[in-house]
Amino acid sequence: MDYIEITVRQTIPADCLAGIQRWLLTRIFKTEERGDSLVFHGCWDYHGHTVSPDNELTEALTASREICPELCAEVEREINENGEIEGGIDHERIFQSIVRRHPDVLHHVSIEKFNRNTKRWGLDRETLTIITAQCIMSINSDGNGRNHLIPLSPFIIHSTKRGQP
């Protein structure tokens, strides 16, 4: 597989995102503003993301410490240890925390993901993920599914190219 196309199907009201969530999501996704909401989509390779700190990060962390303490702590730890965030950012957990804080506005978030392979006629696998306050569920075109009632992964998943799992 060469790359992933990903689309978040819901528009997310901008005021539902904590500063650190918005900062991270707008750096890993292409983002469009539609009125008071944001639309996220992207095209990624399999090496993860490298996100470098900037002035907006300091503001986002300060504004988000009480709302997203775990996420802020992970981002700060990663920046302090490596100078940047390198690897995967678990956008599914970020969207789940948004749904948990705003169940009256967002009942769920759905994400479509297409794994593309340029060597073998294009589409390798299609995955649909539904994120609710209680669960992250996925099923793909291979017939395999996954269901996480309690998120087991950290928000930042280290890339194997740095020698970490």
Q: How far apart are CA 163 and CA 82, in angstroms?
A: 13
Residue 3 reports pLDDT greater than 80: yes
Q: Is 21 helix (H, G, I), strand (E, B) or coil?
A: helix
All structural domains of the chain with their residue ranges: 3-162
The predicted pLDDT at position 8 comes to 97
Residue 37 is predicted with a pLDDT of 97
Distance CA 46, CA 158 (A): 12
Q: Which residue has the higher pLDDT, 24 or 122?
A: 24
pLDDT tens figures, 103-129: 999 999 999 998 877 776 666 778 999
Sequence-ordered list of residues with C-beta below 8 angstroms from that of 74, at least 6 positions apart, any chain = 154, 155, 156
Check: CB of residue 11 under 8 Å from CB of residue 98: no
DSSP category for residue 153: S
Q: Are the beta carbons of 101 and 69 closer than 8 angstroms?
A: no
Q: Which of 62-71, 93-102, 143-152 has the lowest mean pLDDT?
A: 143-152
24 touches 57 (CB < 8 A): no
pLDDT for residue 163: 39
At which residue do the structure tokens 């390798």 appear?
A: 124
CA 16 – CA 98 distance, rounded (Å):
7
Alpha helix segments (H runs only) across 8-146: 19-28, 55-64, 69-82, 91-101
Amino acid sitting at position 97: S
Computed over every residue of the chain, the mean pLDDT equals 85
- 115-165 pLDDT, tens digit per residue, is 877 776 666 778 999 999 999 999 888 765 555 555 555 666 555 444 333
The predicted pLDDT at position 40 comes to 97
Alpha-carbon distance of 148 to 7, in angstroms, equals 20
